[in-house]
Chains A and B, each alone.
Chain A
Amino acid sequence: KNQVEQSPQSLIILEGKNCTLQCNYTVSPFSNLRWYKQDTGRGPVSLTIMTFSENTKSNGRYTATLDADTKQSSLHITASQLSDSASYICVVSAEDSNYQLIWGAGTKLIIKP
């Protein structure tokens, strides 16, 4: 069964610190992996999209990595800001699934001043 698991479920860090969020997936055949940021009361917003051949992708202070062999991805946030407080969701698409994205349950990140 295609699944996406994220860890930790929640994380609290101090402003200015770095953190790394994890995503493991069992989706096959793999098409692409996305990271979304979801602020409270809002819809998800795309941070990165990576295909099989991409190992790293950055978007400002956000850097996503992908290891297609181990089926793992991580999202690293550098020099966290209060505005980074949100849920971060890992989403994987299968090559043979036209419209189906497999969503993780997300990691809730809280940045404390």
Chain B
Amino acid sequence: DAGITQSPRHKVTETGTPVTLRCHQTENHRYMYWYRQDPGHGLRLIHYSYGVKDTDKGEVSDGYSVSRSKTEDFLLTLESATSSQTSVYFCAISDHQGRYNGYTFGSGTRLTVV
């Protein structure tokens, strides 16, 4: 997806290990979001950022932390991975408050915790 990349695309990790997912944008958008997508569920917001070092929790933030030290990078860390965190993680960006404008999504990171 143009302007937004996620890494890695796939990862398998063991229970109890820390994991960091990276989202990088070249659009200079202010707002960045981390979502998870699970079968039978809609996307659920984990954390979001409204500027450098400005972040807040979403609806499923337990077990996750984020950091944004630069406009272009938004990191999602699973502090101690659990099997319930096996999911597909999507990063999204928007240039204005997300309610009124479209989001651009990355291609996702498929994380498996064994």
A residues apposed to B, CB below 8 Å: 4, 31-32, 34, 41-46, 49, 89, 91, 93, 95, 97-106
Contact = CB atoms under 8 A, between A and B. Distances in A.
A99 B42 contact: no
Chief secondary structure at chain B's binding surface: loop
A102 B42 contact: yes
Interface size range on B against A: 20 to 34
Contacts of B100: 31-32
Contacts of A89: 42-43
B99 A106 contact: no
B99 A43 contact: no
B42 A106 contact: yes
23 contacts: A31-B99, A31-B100, A32-B100, A41-B107, A43-B90, A43-B92, A43-B105, A43-B106, A44-B43, A44-B105, A49-B102, A89-B42, A91-B42, A93-B98, A93-B99, A99-B48, A99-B58, A99-B97, A100-B59, A101-B43, A101-B98, A101-B103, A106-B42
A101 B45 contact: yes
A106 B38 CA distance: 11
Nearest to B43: A103
Given A43-B106, A43-B107, A104-B42, A98 B90 contact: no
B93 to A, nearest CB: 11
Contact of A46 (B43, B59, B102): B102
